[in-house]
Structures are given as C-alpha cells and as structure tokens.
Amino acid sequence: MTSEELTELLKSNSFELFNLPIEFQIDPTTLEAKYHSLQKQIHPDNFSVNRNEEKLLATSLSSKINDAYQTLASPIKRAKLILELNGLKINLAENNQLPENFLIEQMETHETIAEANDDIDKLDAIIYELEQKKDHLIAQIEEHFVNENLQIIVELIKQLSFYDKLILLVENNIQNAL
Amino acid sequence: MALLQIAEPGSINEPHKRKIAIGIDLGTTNSLVATIKSGMPIVLNNEHDEKLTPSVVYYGETSKIKVGKDALKHLITDPSNTILSVKRLLGKDINEIELSAKLPYNFTDENNMVKIKTIQGDKSPVQVSADILSKLSYLASQSLGEEITGAVVTVPAYFNEAQRQATKQAAHIAGLNVLRLLNEPTAAAIAYGLDNKTDGTFLVYDLGGGTLDVSVLKFSKGIFQVLAVNGNTAIGGDDFDHLICKHIIDNQNLTNLTKEDIASLIQLSKNLKEQLSFNESLSTNIELSSKQVLNITITQKEFYNLSNNLVNQSLLPIKKVLRDAKINSNEIDEVIMVGGSTRMPNIKDAVSGLFNQKKLLSSIDPDLVVAIGAAIQADILVGNKKDDWLLLDVTPLSLGIETMGGLVEKIIPRNSTIPITIAQDFTTQKDGQNAMSLHIVQGERELSHECRSLAKFSLKGIPPMAAGTARIRITFQIDADGLLSVRAKEQTTGIESSITVRPSFGLADTQIEQMLNDSIKHAKEDIETRMLAEAQNKATSLITMLEHAIEIDGDLLIDEEKSQLKTILANLNQAIEQQNTNLITKLTDQLTNAAETFAVKRTNRALKQSLSGKTINEVE
C-alpha cells in the first residue's frame, strides 16, 4: 500500500475502514476475520525496517483499526456511531431524562454491590444479572434500528452505558477481592 | 569464486541477502542472545562456551568494565562495585528502589535520577544495562561475523512506561537498532506456538530472577493475540534467595555482618535454593569475614514453609489475568512455564493446582525460551521471512491523567491492544488563560499519587480566549513497543501548542546524547589502549631478545654498534614507561634495523658452530 492510500484510509470511518455496511447488526466472526486481515497488512511490524515516516503512518493507521474494531465490536459504541453518522449527537453525561424506575433500579444495584462486599460469588452473580439486562436492551436497540426509531435509541444507549459502568465497577471490586 | 564476488552492493544481480537479526533476553539474573541460522533458532555461546551470561557488571579500579562470569568473580571481594540484578532498578525512583530488596550499593539521587556509586564514577541503571547489552551485541557480531541489522529486546510484560523507556535507552546507548521491545511471555509463546503450529489459548507463567509476568494469549489462524497480562515487577527468584538468607541470619543470630558476608550468604542461598529442587535436605558450611564458620542445614520442607507466602502471592496475577481475559481456567489449552525459577517443584505444584492439576508445558528450556522467541520475531521483523502470522500485544497498565482533587481519569484502559491512539479534549478554566499543565500517570489506583507518575506536560501558547471556549485536543499514542507519545493542538484556531515534556524520572534526551558520546569516546579509548598494549608487548619481547643476544654474542659488535644499540634500547624503555604508542612503534622499528647486522653476524656464527666437526659429505 502506498503512503497516499494509507493517508486516505486514515480519514475513513470505522464501517468504511472495515468495508462493512452501516448497520447495527454485525457478525462477530466476520468482524474479527476482517480485523485480522487488515492488521496483517497495516501493522507497523510490517514496516520495522522502513523509513520512520512510514512506520509512524502505519502506527497511526494500525491504531485506527484497533479503535474501529473496538467501536464495531461494542454495541454501545457501534450504535452511537450510527446515530452520529445520521447527524444525531449524543452526550452520555446528559441523563436528566432517564425514567424514574430505571434510576431506582440503579440505586438498588449499587446497594446490592455494596452488600456483596468482597464475596466473589455474589459479585459474579450481579455481573451475570447485569449482562442479561444489557442483552435485553441490545435486542430492543436492534429492533428500533430496523424501525428507524433513532430518538428512542438515544435514550436506550444512555441506559446501556449505565450498565457498562456498573459492570466495570463490579469487575474492579472482584480484582480487588482476589 | 571471484566471479561471484564482483556484483556491486545494491545491484540487481546481488542474490537475496539474509539480514542478520538477533533476539536479546535482558534478564535480571542472566542475559542471552539468539539468532536464526539456516531457519533454526539458536542461542549463541559466550566466551566461556555458555549460553547464559550473568547480568553482572564489574567496574574495577582500572577503566576496564567486566560483564558476565568474569564480573561475578568480584562479587564477594568487591560487592559495591559489582552490580547485579540491575533490571530491578531500571526505571525506578529512589523511593521505589529502597522499598524493594536490600542492595549493597550506595545510591545517589539527583533530579530523580538514581545512580549507583562505583569506583569508576556514578552509574545509572540504564548505563549498567547498556554495558550488558553491548557485551551481548559484541558476542553476536563476533560469533556471526556479520553486521547486525537489528535486535528485538525483551521486557517483562508488566513493565511500565518508565521501565520500557529505560530499556530502549540502554539498547540505544549500546548501539543496537531496536526493531521492537517484545514482552517476555509473548516471546515464549511465539517459541512454543510456532513449534506446535496449533491454534489454542495459552497461559504463560514467567517467573524470572526479579519479575513475574502472567499472560493469556490466543493463537488463531496466524494471529497471536494477547488477551491480557498481569504480573508483579517486585517478585522474582531473587526473593526466594533472600528468604533463605534471612532464615540463615535469623537462625544463627548473626549480627555485624559485612557487605562481603551478605554477598556470600546470598550467593550461598541461591545455590541452596537451586539444589533444593532435587534434594530433600542439604548441609554446607561457610566462613565469614570474622573467621566464624557457619554450619548450615536446610530441608526442602523448611524452604517450602518459608516460601509459602511468596508462592501464593505469585498466583494472584494468574487469577487476575484470567478475570481480565474473561476466560475460565478450564478454557486454557496449555500452561507454559518460563524462567529458571519455574524449576522449583513448589511453584510447579501451585500453578498446576490452579488448573485442575494440569500438566505444565516446559519442553523448551525455560531459561532459553524467551531469547528463542525474540530471535524468531527479530528474523521476521527484518524481513527475512514473509511469515503469515502477526502479533497483537497489549498495554499492561491503564494510562490516565490527574484531574481535580488528585483523582485519576483513565484514558487508555489496561489490556488495550496496541498500537492505540486516543484523543481527548480539554478546555481552559479562566478568561485569557494561555497555559495549562497536565500530569500523566500509569496504574490502576484511583488517586494519582498512588499511580506511577510518567510526565508533567506544560501546554504553552494557548491563544487568549474566554474561559471554556478553547478546545485543546491532546492525543495519546502508545506504539507497538508500548511506548507513549503525546501531541497537543488547539482545535478552534488550529494552533499547535508547544509541549514540554519533563520526564518525572529517567533520562532526558540530552543525557542520552551525552552517554552516547561518552561510549563512543570510550570505544576510541579502548582502541588506543589496545594499540599501546600491542606496541609495548612487541617492544618488550624485542628488548628481552636483544639483551640476551648481547650477553651471549656481544663480542661480535664493535663498540660503536654496541653504544648505538644501547642508546636506542634506553630510549625505547623510556617510551614504554611514558606509554607513548607512536614513539614505541618508531623506536622498535629503529632498533630492529640497527640490530640487523648483529643478527646476520649471529646467524653466521651459529651456522659455523653447527657445521664444525662435520665432514664435507655430511654437509652435502
């Protein structure tokens, strides 16, 4: 690949980079195969005896491929990107419109996590439950994408990000409890 | 033959030339260098015909530097000038060093730059490491007889940014072209993975002299993907030696031990530890500097009790890494054991116990496997083999910036696949604010002072704007070596802010330059020293020979000749004393010429003597 072609690739979005249609539904096996084949061509290890500029360019592009893979593999990031490509900006920090019962549930989960203390089995059970709720939300998001209810998806993504944060918190507690 | 040699370098007729690439395992206790020869990885032998070169550097009274076994000889007699386990000091500040194992060195600490006091001046851990690397590089070029294109140098996967930078600097000072810093467990997995050519998920447990690494990797369809790493850069085989040493000191109520005593006790403990892998009980004795003789007996059981805590501590990274990789212990296809310390049966049992008594993989010598993997990777990186596999590694620790109240905001989470680039926008707090400072840290803790401080950045030249309107985009990039670089740009005006990096520790670029210059100067000095020694040897042997000849056959010389020879002899002796290489060479030549007639006369006399008493027939 020439430097010009590499530079051109740097400007493309994650879907373009992976040559995939802009759709929420994605096959993880196809995604991984594409990721690996891209890295095999672009990774800076292919350029370790080349000039420094080429190495730097390869590093930038390889980073972009890693980032794009993370984006496409994560339902929340993938959904957010599709919305952005449709001109909808989402500020995850803006969460004043969340339903009351969702917020109450969040507070309860926080309490359960605190009660579990450093009991790894209990913490694992919490993660399992949170993952199930996440899956349920993702299924809803998928449906709304089919029906193009983009505004509803914005709200669901915010809820999804709350679950992600909770899972991260519990994982951290488990690491500390080990 | 000659026809084959006339192709000009770089011409199209030149047959595809293999480039020489080496893999270096820069270990805490031993270092190794390996390469690929005829498609097979081989670990190169040193001057003692051994593969393992002790990572020991001796700075003696003359300007000579000894590395390896020759340096180790000085450990007991001159412990403060014999530097060992320097890897444990690399990239650390004085507080971290004092927290780790007790070392018999005197440290200096200037501007967060730790140096070891030696008779040859203060030496930074980077310099000491560079001296080890120089030795290995010399060994490789001697052994291979060709110019080395590049080297892969291995580092513990759990090394932080500072420790990686320090390693790269050391390689740079040693004159190596670093193709890649490669994580040690990854190198080991490469050595095994390519051996077996089977897809699967591996866990590597790498217990070296001073560091512990645990990695989980997936090898699938030609991609080596590191899923997660964990470890502890403060646990190693050394610590088991120290446990035995402390046990001896406590048991025998030893006080007032000298540095030399402690050095010999640690060496003894190391030997005992190694022997206890094969013996149930050992007895030995040692004489201290006070002439007191200690009789020491230790059993395997005693040693296992002593080291129980340490072994358990070493299992924690396994549990953590499995958690991070989101993998169950029963999903691991092979557990690979790396590092000399994994020969200890109690370590093997403990690790195997976590995997349902699974048989551990150690078919490749655990001391050599990292260097072998590094050589395989180096060979591919210089382009000798367009291989169909690629390595995707991760960054071991989270990268973050300090925010209000000393809290850390994570920007790049641990175990992110590298290279990785993340941009984050910041804004100004006050109207017209033209500068801002940022503190970058590495680690998993929530408070910045509990993490490793990497650098403090000052952003200057921000255009005057109302508070909150400036948009400064800071881009953090971790490259394939795991090294960080940072750029900053004001987005609304497009002005690139100047950035000043003040490393919180370690070496500034100017210091590296200085060290490079010094090492070049040293190399020059070395050549000069060698030339002098050669000239002196030649002159001395000529003088001895000539003096002996004059004593025997002096009568062959007329007075004039004799006095001429004696004058040159005296001058030459003086030149030797003055260590004047040029003068020595000149006078040696002069003396050889002046003695020529004398030599002819002596040869004639010898001839006559051997002929006398023989018949003409015999001569014919």
- Residues in A closer than 8 angstroms to B319, CB to CB, are 178
| Nearest Cα to Cα of residue B19 among A57, A58, A48 | A48
Average model confidence (pLDDT) for chain B? 85
Cβ contact A62–B480 (<8 Å): yes
Q: Residue-wise over B361-399: b if at least 16 C-beta within 10 A, else e?
A: bbebebbbbbbbbbbbbbbbbbbbeeeeebbbbbbbbbb
Determine the distance in angstroms separating the CA of B20 from the nearest CA of chain A, rounded to an integer: 12
Query: Which CATH entry fits the domain spanning B511-611: 3.50.50.60, 3.40.190.10, 1.20.1270.10, 3.40.50.1820?
Result: 1.20.1270.10
Instruction: Determine the pLDDT at residue B10.
Output: 39
- Residues in B closer than 8 angstroms to A36, CB to CB, are 221-223, 390
| pLDDT digit string, tens, across residues B528-538 | 776 777 788 78
Considering CB atoms only, which of A48, A63, A178 is closest to B381? A48
Checking if the pLDDT of B498 tops 60, the result is: no
- Among A51-55, B284-288, B444-448, the range with the most confident prediction by mean pLDDT is B284-288
- Compute the average pLDDT of residues A11-33: 93
Annotation marks residue B184 as catalytic = yes
Q: In residues, how long is chain A?
A: 178
Is residue B506 within 8 Å of B162, Cβ to Cβ?
A: yes
Between helix B581-594 and helix B596-611 the angle, nearest 10°, is: 50
Is residue B368 within 8 Å of B51, Cβ to Cβ?
A: yes
End-to-end CA distance of chain A: 47
Annotated domain spans of chain B: 20-236+308-392, 399-507, 511-611
ipTM (interface pTM) = 0.90
- Residues in A closer than 8 angstroms to B222, CB to CB, are 36, 40
Query: For residue A37, what is the nearest residue in chain B, using CA coordinates?
Result: B223
Query: Would you place residue B589 in the very low, low, confident or very high pLDDT band (cuts 50, 70, 90)?
Result: confident
- Among A82-91, B258-267, B304-313, the range with the most confident prediction by mean pLDDT is B304-313
- B521 CB-near residues (< 8 Å, 6+ apart): none
| pLDDT digit string, tens, across residues A96-142 | 678 888 889 999 999 999 999 889 999 999 999 999 999 999 999 99
Is residue B435 within 8 Å of B441, Cβ to Cβ?
A: no
Is residue B382 within 8 Å of A49, Cβ to Cβ?
A: yes
| Nearest Cα to Cα of residue B436 among B411, B410, B467 | B467
Q: Which ranges constitute the DSSP H helices of B299-384?
A: 300-325, 345-354, 369-381
Checking if the pLDDT of A150 tops 80, the result is: yes
| pLDDT digit string, tens, across residues B156-172 | 999 988 899 899 999 99
Residue B120 is encoded by which pair of tokens?
Answer: 């040859």
| pLDDT digit string, tens, across residues B442-454 | 888 888 888 888 8
CA-CA distance, B371 to B26, in Å (whole number)?
9
Query: Which CATH entry fits the domain spanning B399-507: 2.60.34.10, 3.10.20.30, 2.70.70.10, 1.20.58.220?
Result: 2.60.34.10
Please name each of the domains of chain A with its CATH number.
3-73 (1.10.287.110), 100-177 (1.20.1280.20)
Cβ contact A66–B382 (<8 Å): no
B496 sits in the region (left: phi over 0; alpha: psi -120 to 50; else beta) called beta
Cβ contact B390–A40 (<8 Å): yes
Measured at the alpha carbon of residue B457, what is the angle toward residues B452 and B459, in degrees to the nearest 5?
Answer: 160
What's the Rg (C-alpha) of chain B? 31
User: Across chain B, which distance is largest between two alpha carbons, in Å?
Assistant: 118
Q: Which CATH number describes the domain made up of B20-236+308-392?
A: 3.30.420.40
Phi and psi at residue A22, to the nearest 5°: -75, 85
Interface mutation vs chain B, best among A34, A49, A61, most B CBs within 10 Å: A49
- B216 CB-near residues (< 8 Å, 6+ apart): B201, B202, B203, B204, B226, B227, B228, B229, B321, B322, B324, B325, B327, B332
Of the candidates B161, B206, B241, B367, the residue annotated as catalytic is B206
Is residue A78 within 8 Å of A84, Cβ to Cβ?
A: no
Cβ contact A40–B223 (<8 Å): yes
Checking if the pLDDT of B576 tops 90, the result is: no
B418 touching A (Cβ < 8 Å)? yes
Annotation marks residue B25 as catalytic = yes
CA-CA distance, B223 to B417, in Å (whole number)?
13
Determine the distance in angstroms separating the CA of A40 from the nearest CA of chain B, rounded to an integer: 6
Query: For residue A175, what is the nearest residue in chain B, using CA coordinates?
Result: B320
Is residue B217 within 8 Å of B202, Cβ to Cβ?
A: yes
For residue B463, give the DSSP letter.
P
- Compute the average pLDDT of residues B187-211: 86
Cβ contact B316–A178 (<8 Å): yes
